[in-house]
Each structure stands twice: as C-alpha cells, then as structure tokens.
Amino acid sequence: MSKILIVADYLNGTLNASTARAVTCAKDIGTDTIDVLVLSDDGAAIAAEAAKLDGVTKVMHVDNAANAHPMAATLTPQIVAAAEQGEYTHVLCPNTTYGKDLMPRVAAKMDVAMVTDIMAVHGPYEFERPIYAGNAIITVKAPENQVLVGSVRCASYAEAGDGGSAEVAALSLDVELPSHTRFVGLEQHKTDRPDLQTAPKVVTGGRGVGSEENFKIIYDLADKMGAGVGASRAAVDAGFVPNDMQVGQTGKIIAPELYMCFGISGAIQHLAGIKDAGTIVAINKDEEAPIFEVADIGLVGDLFKVIPELQEKIG
C-alpha cells in the first residue's frame, strides 16, 4: 500500500490552498497514509492548519532557524531524510513556484526520476501530465521499485475540505544542512488582492492594455469584483506589470471559477495556463484572436470602453 508524504507549501505563516489540492491528488492515488511535512522556523501554526484537511493522517513540523527563508538547497536534505525515515513510497508537492524550485532537487538527491505536473491518477505509479504547452496529455508510468517524487498540477484538483483531525508532532532530523547557499534578500510584489493562484475570480490584461499606467483600469475592475489580477507574458515582457503576475505555461497555472481577460490574443502558452478555468470571458478588438476559440463568452470590443460599462453594471 502506498505511503504518501506531502511537502507543505506555505507563505507568511499560512498554509497555501495548493497543499489542500495536493492532498486531493494523494487521495486519488489510494492510500491509508497521507502525511504532511512542514519545514519552517516555527511551523506549529501551519501544521495545525494542515491537520484540519480531510484525508491527512499526520502532520510533522521540522522547526529550524535555517528554514526561516525557504531555500531548495536547505530544505532538500530535510525532505530526503524525512522520506527515508518514514519509509514513504511517494513524496509529493504542489507544482507551484515553491514546488518547481524544490522537487527536482529532491528527486536528484534521491536518485530517482520525477513525475511533474500530475493532472490525473490512473494508479499508484501511473499518471497523466500535460506536454507541448498543454496541447497534449501523456500517460506516464513510473518504476514501482523506487520512491516516486512528483509535483501536482493544482489547477486539476479541488481543495481537500476541512473536517480532519490529524495528529500533529514535531519531527527531529539528524541531517547536515549545506552552507554554500545563503539567504540574501527577498524582493516580492505585495498586494492586498486575492492570491492569483487560488482566487475564484481572476481579471487579466495583455499587450492590448498598452502601458503600465493603463493597467490601472484592470486593477480597478478587479478590485470592484474582489478578483485576483494577472497578465499575459507579453504584458510582463513589456514592463506593464511584475513577472509574478504572469499567467501561462511559463508563469502561473490557474483554475478560477471565472477568468476574464482583456487585450490578450491567446498564445498557446497562455491558454495552457487557463484551460481549467470554469468560465472564460474574453474581450479583444481582434475578432480573429485565438482566445475566442476557448472562451465561453467572447466580446469583440475596445477594453477601454467595455470595462467602464462593466463597472457601471457592477455598481
């Protein structure tokens, strides 16, 4: 029987919803044991959040001052030690920025191949994952005689609900941490808006918005709707917005209930990041824009006229 360890993804002392989505994937694999590992300088509160997730068996937190600023080089040996100590068959993490940075190093350290972006489970060692920027889905089968290290495509899974009451325990690991990598500083775009990767509603703008100043109209609409804000790669490359707002294959993969995009033509890489959205609404001046091929609702029009009218209707 599978024994699964999930590495918790958190930010500013709060568990990210992506961890709950990874738990749902783990439940699909089929197991009696889904443990969560929290690596922090003080992870008790984060562990308590994880313990409430339905399906979680046990939550372990490793408190170490070296984990105050999570770095893959520092976290990896701790994950490997925990996986070996607990004799886990699977080690999973959300395929977020955190997981993308961390899990390949874990797989390399464990000397196993990695299954990235798991979007469906056919068996404990057989999965579906996207290839060619999401234009094709491939079924992969991993060896059953070694630990499976994988990352979970969050957009493909609903969050595991609350209602759990898992055991919470501090975990002690006898492991030497590397000193060749050290934390220098963090430059992070701060916003009071909902997190782009977990927001139920998202408003995005593309090259058609025209400038950094013009992006204010996107922010205003999003604020009125209580939505997260994203952008296409073209808008990011043009300097309209920070790169952590990029949505697409090389940015954030999202699956909001409502996705509204303005001035985005719909490049393949962008479509790969939004294809799991519930309802896609597209506004573009070009009636031949590829975005209309995937949109549930499409409107050919000038965003600078459409958005003020939408704001009036919202009230």
Q: Which homologous superfamily is 201-314 in?
A: TPP-binding domain (3.40.50.1220)
CATH architecture, domain defined by 2-170: 3-Layer(aba) Sandwich (3.40)
Q: Do domains 2-170 and 201-314 have the same CATH topology?
A: yes
pTM: 0.83
- How would you write the pLDDT of the chain (315 residues) with one tens digit per residue? 789 999 999 988 999 999 999 999 999 999 889 999 999 999 999 999 999 999 999 999 999 999 999 999 999 999 999 999 999 999 999 998 899 999 999 999 999 999 999 999 999 999 999 888 777 899 999 999 999 999 999 989 999 999 889 999 999 998 999 988 888 887 766 777 888 888 899 999 999 999 999 999 999 999 999 999 999 999 999 999 999 899 998 888 898 999 999 999 999 889 988 988 999 999 999 999 999 999 999 999 999 999 999 999 887
Q: For the chain, which residues make up each domain, given as ranges? A: 2-170, 201-314
Amino acid at 167: E
DSSP string, 145-188: TS-EEEEE-GGGSPPPPB----EEEE-----PPPSS--------
Residue 279 main-chain phi, psi, to 5 deg: -125, 125
DSSP string covering the chain, please?
-EEEEEEPPEETTEE-HHHHHHHHHHHHH-EEEEEEEEEESS-HHHHHHHHTBTT--EEEEEE-GGGSS--HHHHHHHHHHHHHHHT-SEEEEESSHHHHHHHHHHHHHHT--EEEEE-EEEETTEEEEEETTTTEEEEEE--TTS-EEEEE-GGGSPPPPB----EEEE-----PPPSS-----------SSPPTTT-SEEEEE-GGG-STGGGHHHHHHHHHHT-EEEE-HHHHHTTSS-GGGBBSTTSB----SEEEEES----HHHHHHHTT-SEEEEEES-TT-GGGGT-SEEEES-HHHHHHHHHHHH-
